[in-house]
Structure 1
Amino acid sequence: MGLQDKKDIFSFIMINLLLTSIVSGSTDTITSSIPLKDGDTIISSRGLFELGFFSPGNSKNRYIGIWYKNIPAKTVVWVANRETPVIDNSGMLKITNPGVLTLTNDKNTIVWSSNVSKAAPNPIAQLLDSGNLVVRDKNDNINFVWQSFDYPGDTLLPGMKMGKDLVTGRESYITSWKNDDDPSTGEYTFGCDVTGYPHQVIKKGQVLQYRSEPWNGIDFGGISVLPQNAIYKFDMVFNEHEVLYTYKMFNSSMISRLTMNHSGVAQRWVWADQAKDWIVYFSIPAADGCDLVCGAYGTCAINSFPKCGCLDKFVPKYQNEWNGANWSKGCVRKRPLNCKTDGFVKHANIKLPDFQYSMFYKNVTLAQCEKLCLKNCSCVAYANILKTGGTGCMLWMGDLVDIQEGPSFSSVLYVRMASSDLGLFTKMCKHEGFD
């Protein structure tokens, strides 16, 4: 056998090995010369995530998705073409210059495509072990021209971010599927709201369904995403340019995800390897139904019956409706404010009110915060929201809505009251300059 024959055989073997590797899913990349066909997959380098075509639930439509490779029940964490499925098995995912991912059907029509921030001379698409699908130049491992983490679906993975770019106004949040058979955009979103101070919200369309307390430097009041724990650590980036929430696992072998389901419930899931199943670590809103139900100046207590009451020195606005468990109209003051002679009543173990009509002042002490509120006759309450020893003042200018109370809440709220409603001890303390 001649040298050329040996070279030809060697080339034939190498090409077939390469093709076999690609078809079997042992590669983590898509190149411009070899697209991804329906039936093929790519797998991240450590075998944690897999990308390919799938059909959700009872649907026959085909979508490009990313799921956990080694979890028995296929758990999809990201879908590319949520709104535009391929109706048969003709789909093909390609990477083209200058670095655009395109999904085409049997007519070679583009069904879905990514965008590109800058050109990549030799573009490839790579599935990382984080579950992030990135487009980059094959000679540049650091700079991505596009990444799936910038476009979350119904799942937030470790390292993924949600929040708002305060310069461009672009927001990122997780959005429910329509149903188990349809991954297109559903009614519910879970993300960060920067009104007043960053906090987490669930909305149905534009209607608020749930809100957390504000970020206090440690957590969101210890309720919305739970305090720091042995499983994961979360953080907020909050400056003049951006507001971003993210989290990471303490132990890389543990698997956890945050989802927004089509019933309007955000859930933290942890994979239990021994049980071979997902365990719900927490859900919001909580099943007690204490969110946004008691009206202005009403308070909700999870373990009380009835669960709605009024703040001290407030009474139901419409007593008959209140007695019939219609608490939506809330409560009113027994005595009107005077502005010049008003004081404050301290309420501990409170979930702070809605921030729609609030203002935040940085580097302001609690005593200074009280003075700011007293000077403004529209100010009805104040609080220091930071738990890290810092100074930060929140003022409320409208009715106080969505107040909850209980030992699981750690915030303190100071509510403006007419002087005649202030107790003797409160008056003495204020006269003597004590808190």
Structure 2
Amino acid sequence: MVSANGEFELGFFSLGNSNSWYLGIQYKRAFGTVAWVANRDAPLTTSSGTLTLSSEGKLIIQNGTNMTIWSSSSSKSLGNPVAQLLDSGNLVIRTYNNSDTGLIWESFDFPYNSLLPGMRLGKNLVTGLDWSLKSWKRNNDLSPGIFQLKLDISGYPQMFLWDGSARYLRLGPWNGVSFSGVPNWGPSDIFNSEFVLNEKEMYYKYDFIYSSGLIRISTEPDGQIIRYTWTDGYNTWKPSILLQPDYCDAYARCGEYASCNSNSLCSCLDRFQPKNVKAWSRLNFSEGCVPEKQLHCSDKDGFVQQLNKKLPDTRRSTYNLSMNLKECEMKCLKNCSCTAYANTNITKEGSGCLIWFGGLIDIKEQGQSPDVFYVRVASGASSSSRARRIALIVIVTIVSILAVALIFYLWHVRRYRKQNREGEMMENEIDDGREDLPLFDFRTIANATNNFSSNFKLGEGGFGPVYKGVLENGKEIAVKRRSTCSAQGTEEFRNEVSCIAKLQHRNLVRLLGWSTEEGERILIYEYMPNKSLDYFIFGDTDQRASLNWPKRYNIINGIAKGLLYLHEDSRLRVIHRDLKTSNILLDYHLNPRISDFGTARRFADSQTEANTARVVGTYGYMSPEYAIEGEFSVKSDVYSFGVMIIEIVSGKKNRFFNHPGHNLNLIGHAWTGYNEDNLMELIDVPIQESGEEHEVYRVIHIGLLCVQQYPEDRPDMSSVLKMLSSKVPLPRPNQPVFFTERRLNEANPSHSQDGFSICSQTNTFFAPR
């Protein structure tokens, strides 16, 4: 059965070599894409099956033995019924002579994993129909998965993503533009959204602006919510991730009156403090925060404005859609149980009143969030005492600033003299490494970067900030300047200059010069316009989509060639020791360049491994023998390379990887998928339709060989390159070492929780054993 516009077809189908047959609606233009499934819980086990329309108006699926395995449910019956597939993709049963009224059943009332234009997501309060989305079990298994996107109508309606019977995360209420927890959900130039809220129905729906286009919103097996738009020019779906769960999305992560930020930490709202300070200092945020001062339940109470945050859980709330914000504030102030208020609709000047009762939970910091809410707090002292206190604070602040300035001046003079002496010594010590490497004067570098202007800043790492610069001859450069608060110092600087100056390879970043003038530690590199690899593979949908499979495959090969040069082909045998996606830079043609050799170690020709009491590196990329015992070798870099392979293929980070079915990190998840022959779930959406499925699987297999537990089991880089460039049979990998981040910290308590430097800009850490 085909819709009149030819966009949709109804029929029986199976996926791949599966013996499970389903009745469903598929797109004709995007052949193989399923829009709706009837018998998702009861597939046919053979291709013998029939679909009939009964005289009462019921669709019935029967198997080869005439057993009914599915039928459409309806409380009504019709005489002379017809079934029709509408141009919207909606399968309806209606009376023969009336196409506009008399519907007794429609597939749009029973959505599966996809929300099509015109479908509703919510609840019919009269009939009890619950319009929700449920994920597939796997990409190649249409049976019901564990995730369900559903509207909760207790309090002000809000959308939840459920994991089985547990609330997994909260998308929040509709604010007139988007769901509060997904600011990029709402109206765009391609579709219009609507949220209906009355005494009969509560639901969200959207309509596509372009009549000739295709769009769908899907709940994926891993919990992602993705909007797909069909692009005729490429004959493929363009994905746009509306929601990709992260650490802070876990429901009520931080307890009451606290918000979760991008550093995966919790902080109390203004005028609140941790309820259990000791637990809070140990990063246990479950008990949340309490007011610094108890409320008076009078006009002495006030409100603190909260910006750029997801609205708190609205299950304990009431609302009035006709009130304005001032009326809402007064209503809250008169109710001793009211703890916060906000507009229900933020469009134009705002309208409607939303009032919370009890503790505020599940708040997340969101940059540029349009939502604003006001939290009730006890007012401070009287105006006169407040003025005296402010005056005292100003005086103490001025005196403190002057004292600190004097101390800093004396410290700076002493440091300047010391660094100048160190610089003179360093020039003598690293002559063996610089050879033809020029020594830049400080004024030239300052002019090139507009005196290290923040507008020229590219980013910041463990050594310090990196700036873009342009020399007088027009040559673009990247300038890495050691920060005064960096944990890395003279040793790392000397190591980088003396090491990388002797290395020349197209997949290594090129060091152009250095400077120690004015007590500085500055490194000058060739400029890489496309930033680092992590910017693309962990970025938004457009950034990730720009790296298709051929480009990712080229990057993997380039990194492998650079590592082979370091390990076997250069004048020095070099162990990088801090390989990670942020240390892979991309040139104009997206070719990879390995960078950051500050912690690298050089080996003699006959040396194969070493041991250190000073472990450096980044959690998630370090091999187990190095993280635990301090033993490192070329196989340590191979392990890091294997982690990067799986991150490049999946578009997810090894650290902080979350999966509803287990507590493993990304490596453990890949190993599970390999053993269960279900690697498709691991693969990043932008490359799933590349048509190179076998090649992608092979690369994951190579990655798993690189992350095996024992160094002797891992291939060297020459073997890895052979595997990547040929079709030689691959050995079966042994089980890698994988564990949760908590277990890693417990196993090695001397390492910091996140390994932040005092600049809070890097994950590289230095720790004694």
TM-score (structure 2 length as normaliser) = 0.47
1:147 counterpart (106, 112, 134): 106
When the two chains are superposed, the root-mean-square deviation of aligned CA atoms in Å is: 2.5
User: Cα deviations across residues 358-383 of structure 1 (Å, max 9, x unaligned)?
Assistant: 11133223222222222222211111
* C-alpha deviation, 1:249, in angstroms: 0.7
**Is contact 2:170–2:181 with CA below 8 Å preserved after alignment?**
no
Change beyond 3 A, Cα 1:423–1:235: farther
1:340-419 matches, within 5 Å, as 340=298, 341-388=300-347, 389=349, 391-419=351-379
Tell me, yes or no, if structure 1 residue 192 matches structure 2 residue 151. yes
Q: Which segments of 5 or more consecutive residues in structure 2 lack a partner in the other structure?
A: 388-769
Aligned to 1:101: 59
1:164 counterpart letter in structure 2: K
C-alpha distance in structure 2 between counterparts of 1:425 and 1:267, whole Å: 54
Tell me, yes or no, if structure 1 residue 91 matches structure 2 residue 49. yes
C-alpha distance in structure 1 between counterparts of 2:27 and 2:382, whole Å: 59
* C-alpha deviation, 1:412, in angstroms: 1.8
* C-alpha deviation, 1:290, in angstroms: 4.0
1:185-264 matches, within 5 Å, as 185-221=144-180, 223=182, 226-264=185-223
Tell me, yes or no, if structure 1 residue 120 matches structure 2 residue 84. no
What SS class does the counterpart of residue 373 from structure 1 fall into?
helix
The answer to which structure has the higher strand fraction is: 1
**Is contact 1:385–1:411 with CA below 8 Å preserved after alignment?**
no
**Is contact 1:210–1:285 with CA below 8 Å preserved after alignment?**
no
C-alpha distance in structure 1 between counterparts of 2:56 and 2:302, whole Å: 64
Aligned to 1:4: none
1:299 counterpart (259, 262, 266): 259
2:374 counterpart letter in structure 1: Y
2:315 counterpart letter in structure 1: Q
Of residues 377-386 and 177-186 in structure 1, the stretch that sits farther from structure 2 once superposed is: 177-186
Aligned to 1:36: none
The answer to which structure has the higher helix fraction is: 2
C-alpha distance in structure 1 between counterparts of 2:353 and 2:18, whole Å: 51
Aligned to 2:127: 168
TM-score (structure 1 length as normaliser) = 0.81
**Is contact 2:171–2:181 with CA below 8 Å preserved after alignment?**
no
Aligned to 1:21: none
C-alpha distance in structure 2 between counterparts of 1:254 and 1:365, whole Å: 39
Q: Which has the higher contact order (CA 8 A, sep 6+)?
A: 1
User: Cα deviations across residues 393-415 of structure 1 (Å, max 9, x unaligned)?
Assistant: 21111111112234421222211
**Is contact 1:190–1:266 with CA below 8 Å preserved after alignment?**
no
What SS class does the counterpart of residue 108 from structure 2 fall into?
helix
What SS class does the counterpart of residue 43 from structure 1 fall into?
coil
1:329 counterpart letter in structure 2: E
Change beyond 3 A, Cα 1:138–1:422: farther
**Is contact 1:117–1:146 with CA below 8 Å preserved after alignment?**
no
Tell me, yes or no, if structure 1 residue 282 matches structure 2 residue 282. no
**Is contact 2:227–2:240 with CA below 8 Å preserved after alignment?**
yes
User: Cα deviations across residues 257-308 of structure 1 (Å, max 9, x unaligned)?
Assistant: 0111222222111122233322221231444644532221111233xx3542
Change beyond 3 A, Cα 1:275–1:321: farther
* C-alpha deviation, 1:128, in angstroms: 1.9
Aligned to 2:142: 183
2:55 counterpart letter in structure 1: N
1:209 counterpart letter in structure 2: Y
C-alpha distance in structure 2 between counterparts of 1:69 and 1:424, whole Å: 74
**Is contact 2:186–2:193 with CA below 8 Å preserved after alignment?**
no
Change beyond 3 A, Cα 1:94–1:306: closer
Aligned to 1:129: 87
What SS class does the counterpart of residue 350 from structure 1 fall into?
coil
Bigger CA radius of gyration: 2
Of residues 89-98 and 174-183 in structure 1, the stretch that sits farther from structure 2 once superposed is: 174-183
**Is contact 1:99–1:119 with CA below 8 Å preserved after alignment?**
yes
Identity of aligned residues (%): 42
C-alpha distance in structure 2 between counterparts of 1:426 and 1:126, whole Å: 73
* C-alpha deviation, 1:251, in angstroms: 0.5
**Is contact 2:247–2:264 with CA below 8 Å preserved after alignment?**
no
